[in-house]
Amino acid sequence: MAKYFDVHPDNPQPRTISNVADLVRSGSLIAYPTDSCFALGCALGNREGVGRIRTIRNLGDKHHFTLVCQNFAQLGQFVHIDNNVFRAVKAATPGAYTFILPATSEVPKQLQHPKKKTVGVRIPDHVVTQAILAELGEPLLSSTLLLPDEDEPMTQGWEIKERLDHVVDAVVDSGDCGTRATTVVDFSSGEAEIVRVGAGDPSRFE
């Protein structure tokens, strides 16, 4: 049965956030809110967690997982980013964008695209997500919480708790979330290619 954390959207309770981070460190898989929609997240080195996300979402091996980072200092440890791309990404973050970039050796092979050696990264503009990341001190390995054969993600924590009670370890709820996933921009070639139009305005990359 999943633990349920009711978190204040503007002033997250430090003890609650600490408990969530401890769960992630100990190998748990959480459902948590972001500035786009709910996501599934676990620790970077959690191989079992990755497998569980693949199972819940019915994902193939070419799926791009996302490293949800607290800031640019953290993001720079996990992707190679040149000056031109850096400026474009910096101007759009924090925000509801995921950027696909060449992965550094810090990223486990199983999280990289098998042929391109790329990974998704983002810096969210969400108080609760940022609090979890600050407490954790490392990125959350994440994927949008969109179930197979469903067109839109769930927007409410209680519904996620009800439906995923036996497949996730904790649900973090800070109120209703959006239904649009991030806008995905692939910069792996050095030029912006919009892969998915979502919550972030794509016009700045067109």
Q: Which two tokens stand for residue 129?
A: 């997500």
Q: Which two tokens stand for residue 31?
A: 């459902």
User: Which structural domain, as residue segments, surrounds residue 40?
Assistant: 3-205
Instruction: With a cut of 80, say whether residue 14 has pLDDT above it.
Output: yes
- Residues 75-103 have pLDDT tens digits of 999 999 999 999 999 999 999 999 999 99
With the CA atoms of 33, 118, 100 and 34 taken in that order, what torsion angle do they form, in degrees rounded to the nearest 10?
Answer: 0
- For residue 103, what is the DSSP state? B
Average pLDDT of the chain is 94
Domain CATH for 8: 3.90.870.10
What confidence tier does 111 reach under pLDDT thresholds 50, 70, 90? confident
What confidence tier does 123 reach under pLDDT thresholds 50, 70, 90? very high
0.85 exceeded by pTM: yes
| pLDDT value at residue 70 | 97
Mean pLDDT of 70-74: 94
Q: Indicate the number of domains in the chain.
A: 1
| pLDDT value at residue 6 | 97
Give CA–CA dist 120/205, Å, rounded. 16
Instruction: With a cut of 80, say whether residue 62 has pLDDT above it.
Output: no
- Residues 128-137 have pLDDT tens digits of 999 999 999 9
Cβ pair 181, 199 in contact under 8 A: yes
Instruction: With a cut of 90, say whether residue 127 has pLDDT above it.
Output: yes
Mean pLDDT of 68-73: 95
Cβ pair 145, 38 in contact under 8 A: yes
What confidence tier does 193 reach under pLDDT thresholds 50, 70, 90? very high
Mean pLDDT of 195-200: 94
| pLDDT value at residue 114 | 80
Instruction: With a cut of 80, say whether residue 182 has pLDDT above it.
Output: yes
Instruction: With a cut of 80, say whether residue 61 has pLDDT above it.
Output: no
Closest CA to 136 of 19, 8, 11, 52: 19
Half-sphere exposure of 65 (CA within 13 A, CB side): 34
Closest CA to 52 of 62, 37, 66, 40: 40
